Chains A and B, each alone.
Chain A
Amino acid sequence: MTQSAQSQSQQSPVMDIVRNYGIHLVLAVLIVVTAILSPAFLTANNISNMLLQAAPLGIVVIGQVPVILVRGLDLSVASVMATAAVVATCFSGQDTDALPVFIVAISIGLATGLVNGLLITKRNVSPFLATLATMTLLQGMRFAYTQGAPSGNVPPIYRVLGSQTFFGVPYNLMILVVLAAFFSILLHKTTYGRRVYLTGGNPVMARLVGIHADRITIASYVISGGLAALAGLIYSGFVGIVDNWVGRGFELDSIVAAVMGGVALSGGRGSIVGGLFGAAILVVVFNAVLMIGLPIEFQIIIKGAVIIVAAAFYVRKTI
């Protein structure tokens, strides 16, 4: 592996730079081009708006990254988000209930992650199928519980966290930054983090050096479930009105963001910061489509094209 990486960098140093910093370049070019095309793009108002939107997606991406690192993917995140949002409206809607809401929602997220992890490690189910099943299950339970139309209020403190700013800096962005820092340190500076990379990068080696790969994998899904629930709570505060589809599309967007940010679906490569850059690109692209005045359908089309191109860009030459 190192050998091929070396030979690659010897072949083309330019390509190496593109490979390492491509995502930053793309983001920069995107921002400049959109700013030229639309004067309203780089206004304080619009930037603040984009940052507000970026946080929930970013939080989900932070969870998605360790899962992809261990060669998985988590399709249940959007369903967990919506369930957490529904939970947020189930109590009195007062701030006194903010803590119970938090505990119940996060527990659901963690439990979903645990089920995903157990199915994948103990029953050898493919991550796609396992998380698809829990996604459907949660969706059904949510619908049955709310009878299709959730009602009730989100506790005001979640509204503040999800949609207010502190001198122009959204509260939810602060949460995102703290989480990103915490999980980056966890992945890059702790034994757990190294085990995640080794489990995903080389499962045989991981087993030979005595890593309990199953535990590492399960832990990754549990983290993803918990963060998705948190993102759901914050997002419910952002949109204010909860329906059964809060967070719809986040499962794919979070995977797209991670892949764009250089997190390899084959496992073992990538970082949270990379994934967050991917999320930033998605948010800017979505915003740019609206600012330039294209029909909103182009958001979907561009997203589809981008994911294929990004995945092809990062394909390892040696496979």
Chain B
Amino acid sequence: MTSVASIFTFLTKRRGGLLTVIGLIFVLTLFGVIVSDKFGTYSNAVNILEQSTPLAIVSLGQTLVIITGGIDLSIGSMVSLASVLLSGLTAGDPVMMYVAIVTILVLGGLVGIINAGASIYLRVHPLIVTLGTGAILQGITLLYTQTPIGKMPKGFDELAYGRVLGLPLGAVFTIVVFVVTAVFLRKVPLGRYIYATGDDAVGAQLMGLPRRKVLFVAYGFCGMMAAVASIFLVARLGAGQPYTGQNFTLTSITPVVVGGTLLSGGRGGVIGTLMGVYLVSLLNNLLNFLSLSTHYQLIVQGLIVIIAVSVYVENKRKV
């Protein structure tokens, strides 16, 4: 009996959140299948996976930043800017497309590095720094264009609708980057330093861990992921739009929190985030099937966050 109890304690204490999320995904799927016979189909599953790709990629970057104990509120504006630059620079030209992709990836990384640099050297909380850079990026985006702009060469939508082994290309890509990042976080020293920095920044620095490098890598990665997400978004929508990323700033935080990564830093992981993304996408899809308007998605999303934060107790209080 005691061993059963200890296993139970282990699961609920260490992995309780993740198991709950997976359990919830299972229950929701079951519920969906009962409610609608179109829900449990292959095409709907593919649909959910396709829709979840940009959110998953953005949330991946956000997870790393949150593990360092920070937050990136510029991510939505970065997605918007990258998406209009991508299609605007490309303008239907297949050669320019590669230039545009490289440009936005570099730009994304650079913005992340600026975010990290400002918070390190100006000693301003990342919340404020990224709030500021987010506003600046959104302003620049709107100066560049106020309407959807440019177009992508033929076949670019293959990225959004293509299949690999029957699975959406984006979903396969998502799973690969998540697994690679998970391995990086657990096995590579720099990845482990990310946890150490987030858990106890002063302690990590006293240990001689490269705190600045950790922050540059985490924020740079986050910015770059915003650019990658915009590639998939543009592939889906056909052109970049100046407000396309707006919602990502906050919706990228929900899966991270649901997946058990604490906003206070140092705890959690990317696999939890991926499960969080699937849970949110599944819920939104299910609400569509119940023909409830998108308005209810907001209520549900608010409730999930409140429930999630009540399950995981933050270990220390922060802004």
* A300–B296 touching, CB < 8 Å: no
B55 to chain A, nearest CB (A): 15
> Which chain B residues numbered 118 to 137 have a C-beta less than 8 Å away from chain A?
118, 122-125, 127-129, 131-137
* A304–B319 touching, CB < 8 Å: no
B13 to chain A, nearest CB (A): 17
B266 to chain A, nearest CB (A): 13
User: Which residues of B lie under 8 Å from residue A304 when comparing CB positions?
Assistant: 131-139
User: How far apart sit A303 and B140, CA to CA, in the bound complex (Å)?
Assistant: 12
User: How far apart sit A300 and B142, CA to CA, in the bound complex (Å)?
Assistant: 10
> Which chain A residues numbered 141 to 191 have a C-beta less than 8 Å away from chain B?
141, 143-144, 147-148
* A144–B296 touching, CB < 8 Å: yes
* A300–B135 touching, CB < 8 Å: yes
User: How far apart sit A2 and B123, CA to CA, in the bound complex (Å)?
Assistant: 21
* A128–B71 touching, CB < 8 Å: yes
Q: Which residue of B lies closest to A300 (CB)?
A: B139
User: How far apart sit A129 and B309, CA to CA, in the bound complex (Å)?
Assistant: 8
Answer yes or no: A88 CB below 8 A from chain B CBs.
Answer: no
User: How far apart sit A124 and B264, CA to CA, in the bound complex (Å)?
Assistant: 11
* A132–B250 touching, CB < 8 Å: yes
User: Which residues of A lie under 8 Å from residue B136 when comparing CB positions?
Assistant: 300-301, 304-305
Interface residues of chain B: helix, strand, loop or mixed (majority): helix
Q: Given A140-B301, A315-B122 in contact, is the A307-B306 Cβ separation under 8 Å?
A: no
Q: Which residue of B lies closest to A122 (CB)?
A: B310
* A308–B317 touching, CB < 8 Å: no
Q: Given A133-B302, A137-B299 in contact, is the A301-B250 Cβ separation under 8 Å?
A: no
B80 to chain A, nearest CB (A): 12
> Which chain A residues numbered 44 to 89 have a C-beta less than 8 Å away from chain B?
71-73
User: Which residues of A lie under 8 Å from residue B142 when comparing CB positions?
Assistant: 297, 300
* A128–B122 touching, CB < 8 Å: no
Q: Which residue of A lies closest to B140 (CB)?
A: A301
Answer yes or no: B176 CB below 8 A from chain A CBs.
Answer: no
User: Which residues of A lie under 8 Å from residue B139 when comparing CB positions?
Assistant: 297-301, 304
B261 to chain A, nearest CB (A): 11
Answer yes or no: B179 CB below 8 A from chain A CBs.
Answer: no
* B263–A128 touching, CB < 8 Å: yes
Q: Which residue of B lies closest to A137 (CB)?
A: B302
User: How far apart sit A207 and B309, CA to CA, in the bound complex (Å)?
Assistant: 25
Answer yes or no: B207 CB below 8 A from chain A CBs.
Answer: no
Answer yes or no: A108 CB below 8 A from chain B CBs.
Answer: no
B273 to chain A, nearest CB (A): 15
User: Which residues of A lie under 8 Å from residue B250 when comparing CB positions?
Assistant: 132, 136
User: Which residues of A lie under 8 Å from residue B318 when comparing CB positions?
Assistant: 126
* B264–A123 touching, CB < 8 Å: no
Q: Which residue of B lies closest to A317 (CB)?
A: B123
* B313–A123 touching, CB < 8 Å: yes
A115 to chain B, nearest CB (A): 8
Contact of B305 among A136, A255, A266, A299 (CB under 8 A): A136
Interface residues of chain A: helix, strand, loop or mixed (majority): helix
B157 to chain A, nearest CB (A): 29
* B134–A126 touching, CB < 8 Å: no
Q: Which residue of A lies closest to B144 (CB)?
A: A297
* B263–A129 touching, CB < 8 Å: yes
User: Which residues of B lie under 8 Å from residue A125 when comparing CB positions?
Assistant: 309-310, 314
Contact of B264 among A126, A297, A319 (CB under 8 A): A126
* A140–B132 touching, CB < 8 Å: no
Answer yes or no: A119 CB below 8 A from chain B CBs.
Answer: yes
* B263–A312 touching, CB < 8 Å: no
Contact of A144 among B137, B138, B295, B314 (CB under 8 A): B295
Answer yes or no: B143 CB below 8 A from chain A CBs.
Answer: yes
Q: Given A133-B305, A311-B128, A315-B122 in contact, is the A126-B317 Cβ separation under 8 Å?
A: yes
Answer yes or no: A295 CB below 8 A from chain B CBs.
Answer: yes
User: How far apart sit A312 and B137, CA to CA, in the bound complex (Å)?
Assistant: 19
Answer yes or no: A198 CB below 8 A from chain B CBs.
Answer: no
B303 to chain A, nearest CB (A): 7
User: Which residues of A lie under 8 Å from residue B300 when comparing CB positions?
Assistant: 140
Contact string against B for A residues 186-230, beta-carbon threshold 8 Å, 1 for contact and 0 otherwise: 000000000000000000000000000000000000000000000
User: Which residues of B lie under 8 Å from residue A301 when comparing CB positions?
Assistant: 135-136, 139-140, 143
Q: Which residue of B lies closest to A124 (CB)?
A: B314
Contact string against B for A residues 276-319, beta-carbon threshold 8 Å, 1 for contact and 0 otherwise: 00000000000000000001011111011111100110010001
B241 to chain A, nearest CB (A): 16
B41 to chain A, nearest CB (A): 28
* B125–A265 touching, CB < 8 Å: yes
User: Which residues of B lie under 8 Å from residue A306 when comparing CB positions?
Assistant: 132
Answer yes or no: A241 CB below 8 A from chain B CBs.
Answer: no
A280 to chain B, nearest CB (A): 19
> Which chain A residues numbered 100 to 131 have a C-beta less than 8 Å away from chain B?
119-120, 123-130
Task: A300-B136, A301-B139 given; name 9 further pairs at CB < 8 Å.
Answer: A120-B317, A133-B305, A140-B299, A140-B302, A295-B143, A297-B140, A301-B140, A304-B134, A304-B137
Q: List 13 A-B contacts (CB under 8 A).
A: A71-B317, A126-B264, A128-B127, A129-B263, A135-B302, A136-B298, A139-B302, A144-B296, A266-B319, A295-B143, A307-B128, A307-B132, A308-B129
B residues near A (Cβ < 8 Å) are 71, 118, 122-125, 127-129, 131-140, 142-143, 250, 253, 257, 263-264, 293-303, 305-306, 309-310, 313-314, 317-319
A residues near B (Cβ < 8 Å) are 71-73, 119-120, 123-130, 132-141, 143-144, 147-148, 252, 255-256, 259, 265-266, 295, 297-301, 303-308, 311-312, 315, 319
Q: Which 9 pairs, one residue from A and one from B, show the smallest C-beta to C-beta distance?
A: A140-B298, A304-B135, A137-B302, A140-B299, A301-B139, A143-B295, A136-B302, A304-B136, A300-B139
